[in-house]
Amino acid sequence: AQKVTQAQTEISVVEKEDVTLDCVYETRDTTYYLFWYKQPPSGELVFLIRRNSFDEQNEISGRYSWNFQKSTSSFNFTITASQVVDSAVYFCALGPYNFNKFYFGSGTKLNVKP
């Protein structure tokens, strides 16, 4: 079965703190993609990153970084020096390589307070 679990329903931090959002997935596929999306209060989903299952290198983009651990089926997302504009719901998603059928986690709501 394909499944994505985001155990943290809501996280609150104070601006400039670092925060890590957890994502654990289940799949029987050997090749797949993992994604993170951000959904700000406006509602529009914003694509953040796509990671191929063959590539376990960690990725850093500005204040964002992602830690892909195939051994633990996790794809965690860290925001360094959080800002109020980072407040949003963050979704982790799993997609098989040969068909675009996405499985989304239930999302983690991040509140960054000034």
Question: Which residues are at the interface with another protein (CB under 8 A)?
Answer: 4, 33, 35, 37, 42-47, 50, 52, 91, 93, 95, 97-107
* Residue 99 CB partners (closer than 8 Å, separation 6+): none
Provide, rounded to whole angstroms, the least separation between the CB of residue 22 and another protein. Answer: 15
Judged by CB, which is closer to another protein: 71, or 85? Answer: 85
Q: How far is the CB of 17 from another protein (least distance, A)?
A: 26
CB of 105 to another protein, least distance (A): 6
Cβ(36)–Cβ(95) under 8 Å? Answer: no
Nearest-angstrom CA–CA distance, 22 and 91: 10
Q: Which is nearer to another protein, 101 or 114 (CB)?
A: 101
Rounded to a whole number of angstroms, the minimum distance from the CB of residue 16 to another protein is: 29
